[in-house]
Structure 1
């Protein structure tokens, strides 16, 4: 059954990420300033490993007992070590069955965002079929709560936390940022999140996604989300837009019909609910474009880097 889930989901639109850091999208419309290559340290699983502030440091934090309930914390560069900084929480993709913080985050993101003065946190979560999608969303909510609860120790400005997810990680980020039940378990709510950046994500509206992709890949989504429409809707971020949401959403997509439609559906639903939601389209076709959007974000030759930087700066300004 595991092979069936992987093959059906990955073959379609979404969704197994490649290891990041190579390749290129089409010529960028805008460019950011180049930065030197990052050197990333490694640490064994466990609780917080303290290290010097800066892009070369990495701490691994446990937010649960399972080996995958871990997040890597890269402190942002700061003139005042320990000062609370805006924080980006990155959630990897992998069709809900794969992916890992160790190879899906992208060195460019780590270098670029920490040098900009932001903490970057890359989260792992338990995977299908060991757990259900509801458990994966609960893992992300638990990670966000852990960051907020330990904000002073970590140097996190808990008013300025942005979720950033790619592919399946975009779906989970959107769900935590809209479904109040997930953060309510920790005494928090989606309005505590300053913003969300969604990178070519699927399943913002699961029933519509299943219809769009056709019966073969649609069956793969049914394996992940179940065959009951009620459960599919409960796991659709678009179903929760009338409840408290994160303050702002930025939805990026490449030239894939299903991800384009999903981004527009979700953004329209958010806008009707009075939420600030923007959609940005970028070059890139098929799975290569899907993966390169994530792999290149933060690089000088990515057309997405500067628009995302601008959006992040405004989001953190508003939240501060």
Structure 2
């Protein structure tokens, strides 16, 4: 019986990473056990969705193990992996519409609590959707906490943008029509790049090149407020990323930098069922609007923190149409 239980856990782990188990080492037994403890009742169906929902509940070592497996995925069909720096994490996947010339670029920033995550597991099927709508699509990795600081993560992503702009002619991109899209911790990083000009300036990227920012269910725009109001697991992750220093927390809060200049156009999409995400979204939106940016905030119904991102681009996702309208307004 025990062997069958572990085998089922291994199958669940394969669903998490999305590739055949033969291609990679299996998840540790402890992680398979955690997954099955959360999703054992879904063996008859719905296991994949359950595993995705369970990820935030896994222990940090298991979340990191899942992230590392995801990083071993093959390059998605139609994409090319490009190195934008010297670190192993300084890589991005780029897909462009057929025959692209001067295509606008949508750059995706994955989440994972600043400590885990990967450009492929987070991006899902967004590349094909973006290409169908005339946008090139890039998904970038960045160094992770604790090996890197949040400041270094923002610098990594700014350098990724600088790299894409420097190679825009070769890749068929418009260097001055870039939209940043981030999910969860990635939403925080996208918002930080769109409000604090020091990171883009250091990468020699004019703020005007970022035509818009799309934020998917972030809750860290005011770091100190979120770090001090959430459950213990949230407080631990925020302290690991931002420390307990109020000055550093403020310096890394997009809300602190929402005075002009900012990126000009914003679409902020909290999940309707998350009070903290809705509150943080509205607080940032109010500050950005006061500073002169065009901001749309919409609480997305009938989606979770995970499904909002995973299925974005599909017609059934309750945010797809809003994002398509926003992107079309920037063409």
TM-score range with shorter-chain normalisation?
0.7 to 0.9
Q: How do residues 101-180 of structure 1 correspond to structure 2 at under 5 angstroms?
A: 101-107=119-125, 109-180=126-197
301, 309, 312: which one aligns with 2:327: 312
Q: CA RMSD in A?
A: 2.2
Count of aligned residue pairs for this structure pair: 266
User: Deviation of residue 242 (structure 1)?
Assistant: 1.5
CA distance in 1, matches of 2:240, 2:57: 14
Richer in helix (by share): 2
User: Deviation of residue 282 (structure 1)?
Assistant: 1.1
Q: How do residues 60-79 of structure 1 correspond to structure 2 at under 5 angstroms?
A: 60-77=81-98
Aligned to 2:4: none
User: Deviation of residue 218 (structure 1)?
Assistant: 2.3
CA distance in 2, matches of 1:167, 1:214: 16
84, 106, 109: which one aligns with 1:88: 106
Question: What per-residue deviation string (whole Å, max 9, x for no partner) do you get for residues 197-236 of structure 1?
Answer: 0000121111121233155532431221111111001100
Question: What per-residue deviation string (whole Å, max 9, x for no partner) do you get for residues 260-308 of structure 1?
Answer: 11101110110111111111111247xxx00000011100111111111
203, 209, 223: which one aligns with 2:240: 223
- Decide whether the 8 Å contact of 2:183 with 2:216 is kept in 1: yes
CA distance in 2, matches of 1:105, 1:295: 7
The reply to whether residue 205 of structure 1 matches residue 226 of structure 2 is: no
Question: What are structure 2's unaligned runs of at least 5 residues?
Answer: 1-54, 68-72
- Decide whether the 8 Å contact of 1:178 with 1:190 is kept in 2: no
Q: Secondary structure at the match of 2:328?
A: helix
CA distance in 1, matches of 2:132, 2:287: 35
Change (3 A) 1:114 1:213: same
User: Deviation of residue 241 (structure 1)?
Assistant: 1.4
Aligned to 2:270: 253
TM-score by length of 2: 0.76
301, 305, 308: which one aligns with 2:316: 301
**Considering only CA atoms, is the larger Rg found in Structure 1 or Structure 2?**
2
- Report the more deviating stretch, 161-170 or 206-215: 206-215
Question: What per-residue deviation string (whole Å, max 9, x for no partner) do you get for residues 101-124 of structure 1?
Answer: 1211012x1221111111000110
Q: How do residues 51-66 of structure 1 correspond to structure 2 at under 5 angstroms?
A: 56-66=77-87
Question: What per-residue deviation string (whole Å, max 9, x for no partner) do you get for residues 60-83 of structure 1?
Answer: 111111111100001123xxx241
CA distance in 2, matches of 1:178, 1:256: 24
Question: What per-residue deviation string (whole Å, max 9, x for no partner) do you get for residues 227-253 of structure 1?
Answer: 111100110011111142111010001
CA distance in 2, matches of 1:87, 1:195: 11
CA distance in 1, matches of 2:209, 2:261: 9
Change (3 A) 1:225 1:10: farther
- Report the more deviating stretch, 196-205 or 240-249: 240-249
TM-score by length of 1: 0.78
- Decide whether the 8 Å contact of 2:184 with 2:219 is kept in 1: yes
